[in-house]
């Protein structure tokens, strides 16, 4: 289902969408030419954004979600209340497997993950839907 991203009463989705769209334009993606932006809201309501940063040594490149999470941690945030990923792909642009695990470190099973593109939010998931039966900090039992 395609959700609206403008107007009031959208749970702050418009701000997340615009932050991800804006940061995506700054992506460093000369190799894949696939730009991605991610924006998340932390437990204080602060938005943090990141884009993919590729590298000539390909495996060293980092995903947009990793950048947004690093920005949150550096700014003092500790929990992801919601995250939106913006890309322009042939299909849904959802977080890659590694990024699902990165998100999982700072989120709860019901945390919303929105997949968006130029036309708006294409589909919304919970973390548990994208990463069921996951391994996390509490699994360590410490």
Active site residues: 65
Residue 13's SS3 state is helix
- Closest CB to ligand THU among 10 and 53? 53
Question: Which H or E element spans position 116?
Answer: strand 112-117
Q: Assess 52 for contact with ligand THU (CB under 6 A).
A: yes
- Closest CB to ligand THU among 18 and 94? 94
**Integer-rounded Cα radius of gyration of the chain:** 14
Q: Assess 63 for contact with ligand THU (CB under 6 A).
A: yes
Burial class (CB in 10 A: 0-12, 13-18, 19+), 123: middle
Q: Assess 55 for contact with ligand THU (CB under 6 A).
A: no
Q: What tokens does 58 get? A: 């390909």
Q: What tokens does 87 get? A: 């890309």
**Site residues for ligand THU, window 70-109 (CB under 6 A)?**
95-96, 99
Q: Assess 61 for contact with ligand THU (CB under 6 A).
A: yes
Instruction: Return the residue of 5, 13, 20, 36 that touches ligand THU, per CB under 6 A.
Output: 36
| Dihedral Cα 19, 78, 115, 37, nearest 10 deg | 40
**Site residues for ligand THU, window 120-139 (CB under 6 A)?**
none
| Dihedral Cα 135, 138, 141, 142, nearest 10 deg | 120
Piece in contact with ligand THU (CB under 6 A), picked from 2-10, 61-69, 104-112, 125-133 = 61-69
Q: Assess 54 for contact with ligand THU (CB under 6 A).
A: yes
In the complex, the residues that contact ligand THU under the rule CB under 6 A are 29, 32, 34, 36, 52, 54, 61, 63-65, 95-96, 99
């Amino acid at each position: 289902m395609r959700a609206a991203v403008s107007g009031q009463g959208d749970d702050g989705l418009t701000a997340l969408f615009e932050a991800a769209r804006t940061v995506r334009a700054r992506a460093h993606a000369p190799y894949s030419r696939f730009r991605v932006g991610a924006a998340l809201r932390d437990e204080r309501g602060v938005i943090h954004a990141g884009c993919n940063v590729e590298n000539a040594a390909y495996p060293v490149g980092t995903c947009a979600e990793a950048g947004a999470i690093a920005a949150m941690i550096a700014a003092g945030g500790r929990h992801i209340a919601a995250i939106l990923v913006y890309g322009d792909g042939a299909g849904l642009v959802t977080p890659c497997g590694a990024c699902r695990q990165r998100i999982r470190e700072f989120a709860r099973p019901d945390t919303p993950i929105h997949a968006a593109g130029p036309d708006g939010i294409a589909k919304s998931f919970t973390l548990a839907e994208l990463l069921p039966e996951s391994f996390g900090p509490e699994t360590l039992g410490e």
